[in-house]
Amino acid sequence: MSCWQTIQDYALRSIGLGERLLPREDFTLCQQVTLIGSGMIWNIYFGVLAIILGFGLATVVAVGKASPNRLLQKPSAWFIYIFRGSPLFIQFFFAYAAFLNLKSVYPVFDAFTAAWLGALIVLFLNTAAYSGEIFYGALRSIPKGEVEAADAYGFSGFTRFRRIIWPTMLRLAWPAYTNEAIFLFHATTLVFFSAFPAWQQRGDALYYANYFADKTFNPFVPYPILAGYFILLTLVVISIFGLANRRLNRHLPRERRARIRFRPNIIR
């Protein structure tokens, strides 16, 4: 079987298109590269959606935690503490069991026990908590001169937040937020290793890498392929966030713009 044929069969296998049976013997390098790459579709799906949705909630939670109103401050702080203080792995297990229980009472929750929705919700809440903490830190380090200047110009309430505080918050938080995004993509590999089942063997990249490592008993081929894909993904994330960073800091002289450096020290 030629490599082109393999790509046609397996490139979209992780979303259920193409050949149904996974290869069982005589594993070729082409098969491993194609299937693991096919699994990356799920990693990208989870990562992109969780980041986009989580961004909104993170802003809300950060503002809530920084608010002087205790009714807003306490729930936001607890939300952040619970999701940052416990392992994502256990959160997946707990959410899956909780959705199973809910499903037995209300059939509406049927979709929630599938990875595409259930795991997405957990990842969304988790990244919202981590980014919320980053944004909260940024909110607290906004130069007070900027806020005073906004007051002097007659900005107040939501306009002041949207035009002055929020952009500065993003500017300060952006390098740390980039790392959070990278680690969110790394965390998506946990989905099919926690409770969520890979229906009809439609799994993510690590699921297929583990499949090959189990079958061939040789970890030295599939895992480096996976690592290659993830390093590529990391580079793409860094460049996209770098573009956003350039836009956020476009008013600054060139040498003062903060460079995004790959400094990951926050993972779950």
CB nearer another protein, residue 50 or residue 248: 50
Query: What residues contact 107, with CB distance under 8 A and at least 6 apart?
Result: none
Contact criterion met (CB below 8 Å) for 141 and 171? no
CA atoms within 13 Å, Cβ hemisphere of 62: 26
22 binds another protein (CB under 8 A): no
Q: Which stretch binds another protein (CB under 8 A): 6-14, 48-56, 92-100, 142-150?
A: 92-100
CB of 47 to another protein, least distance (A): 11
CB of 216 to another protein, least distance (A): 5
Element (H, E) at 57: helix 29-66
**Span 126-165, contacts to another protein by CB under 8 A:** none
Element (H, E) at 44: helix 29-66
Q: Which one of residues 5, 8, 28, 86 is an interface residue with another protein (CB under 8 A)?
A: 86
CB nearer another protein, residue 17 or residue 97: 97
CB nearer another protein, residue 55 or residue 183: 183
Q: What is the radius of gyration, based on Cα positions, of the chain?
A: 22
Element (H, E) at 5: helix 3-10
Contact criterion met (CB below 8 Å) for 191 and 205? no
CB of 215 to another protein, least distance (A): 6
CA 89 from centroid of its chain's CA atoms: 14
Look-up: residue for tokens 């499949």?
211
258 binds another protein (CB under 8 A): no
Interface characters, 39-68, with another protein (x: CB under 8 A)? ------------------------------
Q: Which one of residues 89, 109, 116, 155 is an interface residue with another protein (CB under 8 A)?
A: 89
DSSP character string of 27-39: --HHHHHHHHHHH
Q: Which one of residues 53, 121, 216, 242 is an interface residue with another protein (CB under 8 A)?
A: 216
Q: Which stretch binds another protein (CB under 8 A): 50-58, 98-106, 117-125, 249-257?
A: 98-106
Q: Which one of residues 70, 71, 217, 247 is an interface residue with another protein (CB under 8 A)?
A: 217
Contact criterion met (CB below 8 Å) for 73 and 81? no
For 48-75, b/e burial (b = at least 16 CB within 10 A) is eebbebbbebbbebbbbbbeeeeebeee
Q: Residues binding another protein: what is the number (CB under 8 A)?
A: 46
Q: Which one of residues 170, 187, 198, 237 is an interface residue with another protein (CB under 8 A)?
A: 187
Q: Which one of residues 88, 123, 139, 237 is an interface residue with another protein (CB under 8 A)?
A: 88
- Distance, CA of 112 to CA of 124 (rounded, Å): 14
User: Interface with another protein by CB under 8 A: which residues?
Assistant: 25, 27, 81-82, 84-91, 93-94, 97-98, 100-101, 185-187, 189-190, 193, 206, 209-210, 213, 215-220, 223, 226-227, 230-231, 234, 262, 264-268
